[in-house]
Amino acid sequence: MLAEQKLPGKTRKNIQLEKDLKLISKWFAGYFDNREQVAEEKAKNTEPELIHEQIHGIFARVEIPAFGKNVLYVKQYMDDDPSQVYRQRIYSFHTNEKEEAIELRIYAFFDDEAYMDAHLEPSKLSGLTPEKMSFKQGCELFWQRKDNHFLGYMKEGACRVCSKKIGKTITITDDCYLDREQLWIRDRAMDEDGNYVFGHKGNIHHKMKKQYDI
């Protein structure tokens, strides 16, 4: 087998990952929702507890140098109501040659209200650094390109978080799908006794479609 060709300061693998990084950053940026999935489930008379929540995701490119060059502000809410926010984050994408993947680092705000709708007021993010946010080691999401799409995964058992809501440590897992038109998310959590905490009870992705680019 031929040795991997090396270019000045970079390997062929790293060059491909840098191309993937630019592509995933482009595909991720936009407004997504799963209203079509929910409508189809209701039309099929799916059991009520298996009908997905209607979720909406804003993934807006922002410039916050301390987080790198490929950064998104994220706002996710429910039921066509932007005030029903259930998650607000900063996403930072990086190449990870060891994992042969794009690594997504997820940062949570300590004060959500102070940064609400920062995609409309980018000045709110001025001076923000990773040290000023909550970051859980082990909760990174890794993305690998497969032809015309990306598959995202977390390392099994690595994302452990102390839930203030239930007063227990929970283990979160997630696997995702992304192409130029769709983002599928299947995040779920169990407590230390193996009890359900959150996630779709039928173990089916929330299948979100991109409505427009941001």
**Full set of structural domains in the chain with CATH:** 10-212 (2.40.128.590)
pLDDT on residue 2: 37
Lowest mean pLDDT of 83-92, 121-130, 161-170, 185-194, name the range.
161-170
Question: What's the pTM?
Answer: 0.91
Average pLDDT over residues 54-70: 97
> Is the separation of the CB atoms in 40 and 16 below 8 Å?
no
pLDDT at residue number 5: 44
Per-residue confidence (pLDDT) for residue 3, from 0 to 100: 41
Mean pLDDT value of segment 173-184: 97
Mean pLDDT of 132-156: 97
**Taking 50 as the threshold, does the pLDDT of residue 17 lie above it?**
yes
pLDDT (0 to 100) of residue 8: 53
- The rounded mean pLDDT for the chain is 94
With cut-offs at 50, 70 and 90, classify the pLDDT of residue 69.
Answer: very high
Tell whether the model's pLDDT for residue 116 goes beyond 60.
yes
Distance (Å, whole) CA 15 – CA 85 = 37
Report the C-alpha gap between 36 and 67 in whole angstroms: 34
Give the confidence band of 171 by pLDDT, cuts at 50, 70, 90. very high
pLDDT at position 11: 81
Residue 9 confidence class, pLDDT cut points 50, 70, 90? low
pLDDT of residue 83: 95
What does the pLDDT read at residue 13? Answer: 83
Would the pLDDT of 101 be above 80?
yes
3-state secondary structure the chain: CCCCCEECCEEHHHHHHHHHHHHHHHHHCEEEECHHHHHHHHHCCCCHHHCCCCEEEEEEECCCHHHCCCEEEEEEEECCEEEEEEEEEEEEEEEECCCCEEEEEEEECCCHHHHCCCCCCHHHHCCCCHHHCEECCCCCEEEEEECCEEEEECCCCCCEEEECCCCEEEEEEEEEEECCCEEEEEEEEEECCCCEEECCCCCCCEEEEEEECC
